[in-house]
Amino acid sequence: MTQKPKTQLFNFPVLLIIVLLLPLLGFFFFATVFEPRFFLFLSFGLLACILYLAMLRNRLIKKQSEIKLWIQNYGEQVNLAEAGIRREKIAIESFREKIINYSQLKGLTERLSMCLTLEDTSKMFSEEVNRMFGDKDTTIILYLFHSKTGTLGISSSQKGQLRVNIKSKKGDAFDQWIVKTMQPLLIEDTKSDYRFDAERILTQEAREIGSLMSVPLMVGEKALGILRIDHPQENHFTTEDLRFLTTVGDLGAVAIENAQLYEHIEQLAIKDGLTGLYLRRYLLERMPEEISRQMRQKTSLAFLMLDLDHFKQYNDKFGHIAGDIVLRTLGMILSDLFKDPGMLVCRYGGEEFSVMLPDCTRQKALALAEEANKRIAEQTIILRRERTRITVSIGIAMFPKDAQNAKELIHKADQALYRAKQEGRNRVCLFS
């Protein structure tokens, strides 16, 4: 328990004055009444008192200076302590934000790892970025480079929880700047940034853009796309936001590359590397499904089997590389002719090709087969500087008229193809 300080009975300065003045008053009275010579002693006494008081004054001034210095030192210590507390608070807040950011990055990584296809990965990535940075006025756009053409295109775009239609499908001036520099971009105020013409951008884009930040999505030296966030208000984003978005973009880029590789591997599993057509395995998986659909809708399905005439002669005369050119050319012609939705062109094996035509009548199938035969026969192919032409034989079978299941349908089309070969090649035969 804290004890209260004891109250002093006497004030030391008052006591000192009394002790000094009482003798002087006594001498003054004695000198006045009895002996005037005592005024000399009285003067010496007064002088001594003055000197003593001066000494006390100096000590008091010195003591006051020491007290002021102590107060200043104490104030400095208080300021230093407050500054230290502020620094600690800032450090604690920064540490708390880092923990939150790391937790968000962990969640982002876990969710992206569950996505396999590029479509699912892009959708999940956009949703997670929106959860981290978005609000009802923030627009998030994910651009991806086309794997073949290299052009920039929108993969996903949303404002708040809703999808938004972006006018500049291939990016505006801000996105083109990212494409050229491949560096992160932070614009606190689009109207005052000297690098861009704000008026021109506003005319191109109906949305109001006050501030934005954007980062390239890269894995090593490979550019995959751009992640962009913009807001109608100025000074909405900070350097810390851009730094965190860069980290998020790096994780997203890895996930997008993995999804692209997965889809590429899937395509290799079901597509022929030489012609780009589907393989027989994929055809055999699709045919039962398509036949079931035709049965439900009570429609017919046509199946074509094609075989190159005298293909061995091209290999023997010009070599296997020339044979690959012939197969690739045939694949391009078939892909161009049979490109309607639902039509499926496959490389059945070797120099054999097949075409599945759902919702197709016998007459239409025959007309398309004749057109294919004509186009192939008219196509000129240059093999080792020699102009040559190729022909094919085509057999057609119909479901459900000629067959009741996929295996039987393929067999009947193959029989029609064999008959076309027997009748002289370069012709189309219907199963009968």
DSSP state of 429: E
- Tens digits of residue pLDDT in 210-221: 899 999 999 988
Residue 287, SS3 per DSSP: helix
pLDDT bin (cut points 50, 70, 90) of residue 5 is very low
pLDDT bin (cut points 50, 70, 90) of residue 357 is very high
**Domains in the chain: boundaries:** 113-268, 278-430
Whether the model clears a pTM of 0.75, i.e. scores above it, the answer is: no
Longest CA span, the chain: 172
Higher pLDDT, 96 or 275: 275
| CATH superfamily, with its number, for domain 113-268 | GAF domain (3.30.450.40)
pLDDT in the model for residue 412: 94
In this structure, of 42-51, 223-232, 338-347, 352-361, the range with the lowest mean pLDDT score is: 42-51
| CATH superfamily, with its number, for domain 278-430 | Reverse transcriptase/Diguanylate cyclase domain (3.30.70.270)
pLDDT in the model for residue 20: 64
Mean of pLDDT over the chain: 84
The C-alpha atoms of residue 172 and residue 214 are separated, in whole angstroms, by 12
- Tens digits of residue pLDDT in 32-82: 766 666 666 667 767 777 787 788 788 888 888 888 889 888 888 888 888
The C-alpha atoms of residue 290 and residue 283 are separated, in whole angstroms, by 10
From edge to edge, which strands make up the β-sheet containing 344-349?
Answer: 278-279, 344-349, 352-357, 301-308, 392-399, 428-430
Rounded to an integer, the average pLDDT of 123-150 is: 86
pLDDT in the model for residue 199: 65
Share of the chain above pLDDT 70, in %: 87
Beta bridge partner(s), residue 152: 145
Distance of CA 78 to the CA centre of its chain: 47
CA dihedral 402, 403, 406, 409 (to 10 degrees): -40
* Three-state SS letters, 165-234: CCCCCCCCHHHHHHHHHCCCEEECCCCCCCCCCHHHHHHHCCCCCCEEEEEEEEECCEEEEEEEEEECCC
- Tens digits of residue pLDDT in 237-296: 989 889 989 999 999 999 999 998 888 888 777 888 888 899 998 999 999 999 999 999
pLDDT in the model for residue 271: 87
pLDDT bin (cut points 50, 70, 90) of residue 352 is very high
Rounded CA Rg of the chain:
47
pLDDT bin (cut points 50, 70, 90) of residue 350 is confident
Rounded to an integer, the average pLDDT of 297-324 is: 86
